[in-house]
Structure 1
């Protein structure tokens, strides 16, 4: 039997029991796929990250860390909040300075920025050790055509809203930066927080759209026009019943694709300052009592999104060990 260090980390927040909880197994070498799946099911977070030594036996390019992600039901290719959580734990355990690591995940080799933040550490009462924010580069941007009218209507019916509730600037489309989500913009933040979706209906629609997640968001136009660093431009909720997640508190793999989607449709104007970049903050989890803030940066070329980075803060809720 081997002993494994397990953390519960709340991502996209500095406050315990807010944001999105993820399990992190800090020393996962030696675990079989079946054992990883069993641990993820036991922890019962939306995702658990397993940190492994670099995969020297694969054709992958050189990397610093290998991370695999499991929901309670299945392995998933990448996960935003679990990436933030895994690299937060890795940085804390190894007392890292600010740096960039290359992580191998199922969709390839992606850079992750470790940002040592002593002002946060002081807030946590742990100034001597340091604390961290994490920024990850997501996968290739892909935005599918607008769904058919039938699927559009089916989604609205499953959400319990009408066409009049939909933000007409925002066609219902699948957007992906490595793990796709269906983008559904609506007019009212109040309506957003009152949603009680038909989860069975959403799960059925997932197969038709080839995407398991439905990201419903309401934009704050005043904040978009303000363009200050602290502006929160969107409020969101994410439902993925087809993979056993009725609602996810704060989803990096939804807010990143949202950024690409908003730039593609020119709802967010790219700064014309030579770097073709836009950044914003998004909040999610309010309806669940677990609010968290995701920082999103979108790089574009010729007005189209080409690279998305997302990130935020994290805090360890607890640590334990398990022998298997």
Structure 2
């Protein structure tokens, strides 16, 4: 099985979010995929089912699944971007689009050459948010994050905490055990603020994303989280086109276009390693 390590949402090696992409030519073996993801020990490993060159208009999308070192997840933005990048690089996809069959439905990726680079745009579902009125939960979040939280909202699977400034986002040092125990219904916590100094770079909002319940304390750049944060900041700022910066140690930038119930995420990727698994 061929495997690639790709840095997503960056055009510079060792930045953005690394993902492993495995090209699967046979039937899925869930136990083996989980073993491989644990061995890779990246926030996500993607497994894409390829048995032929894919052409736009093909009747069947390519099967795609994502695993953290501990569990399978329903949606992952950066590993989808990395997968689309690898398929184009390897010549498996030669057209301008590719489609994937996933646990979150059919997802599409489009390619566009820009300035000597290939930009990839993902068509993802937008996440809806509900305000959280539970004062005890807000207090638990503040204790776990070590900062004041102005507003707490909930998506289907995550909590989102609004804080006062970009500097607060950058300086967070969460207590992982407390954060993991904050809410048993959420798989992670997104912390976000309107851009401060990053606004000079055309950034609209900043964030950091924590998923200790999935075995990933901090995800460097989380594409799917922008399907939650993007609509929120779009409404707050009155914009349909936004740019987010995730302020992890590796950092990364995600461009967004909001269109009704969809979010279009655009970024680039860099392959830094390729090889194959030698087990039989």
What TM-score results when the alignment is normalised by the length of structure 1?
Answer: 0.78
1:283 aligned residue (245, 255, 280): 245
1:267 paired residue number:
236
1:297 paired residue number:
257
2:178 aligned residue (186, 193, 201): 201
CA distance in 2, matches of 1:141, 1:245: 21
Cα distance change of structure 1 residues 39 and 222 upon mapping to structure 2, 3 Å threshold: closer
Do the aligned partners of 1:158 and 1:202 also contact (CA within 8 Å) in 2?
yes
Q: Secondary structure at the match of 1:87?
A: helix
Do the aligned partners of 2:145 and 2:175 also contact (CA within 8 Å) in 1?
yes
Do the aligned partners of 1:294 and 1:311 also contact (CA within 8 Å) in 2?
yes
Q: Secondary structure at the match of 2:11?
A: coil
Q: Secondary structure at the match of 1:104?
A: strand
CA distance in 2, matches of 1:218, 1:143: 16
Do the aligned partners of 1:26 and 1:86 also contact (CA within 8 Å) in 2?
no
Do the aligned partners of 2:145 and 2:173 also contact (CA within 8 Å) in 1?
yes
Unaligned runs of at least 5 residues, structure 1: 55-60, 121-131, 271-277, 301-305
CA drift at 1:19: 0.4
CA distance in 2, matches of 1:24, 1:82: 7
What TM-score results when the alignment is normalised by the length of structure 2?
Answer: 0.90
CA drift at 1:253: 1.3
CA drift at 1:144: 2.6
Matched, 1:172 2:172: no
CA drift at 1:220: 2.1
Do the aligned partners of 2:146 and 2:173 also contact (CA within 8 Å) in 1?
yes
CA distance in 1, matches of 2:197, 2:39: 43
Do the aligned partners of 2:23 and 2:50 also contact (CA within 8 Å) in 1?
no
- Highest CA radius of gyration, 1 or 2? 1
Do the aligned partners of 2:110 and 2:120 also contact (CA within 8 Å) in 1?
yes
RMSD across aligned C-alpha pairs, in angstroms?
2.2
CA drift at 1:81: 0.3
Cα distance change of structure 1 residues 223 and 248 upon mapping to structure 2, 3 Å threshold: closer
CA distance in 1, matches of 2:167, 2:196: 15
Q: How many residues align?
A: 273
CA distance in 1, matches of 2:255, 2:126: 18
CA distance in 1, matches of 2:203, 2:108: 25
1:77 paired residue number:
74
CA distance in 2, matches of 1:191, 1:280: 21
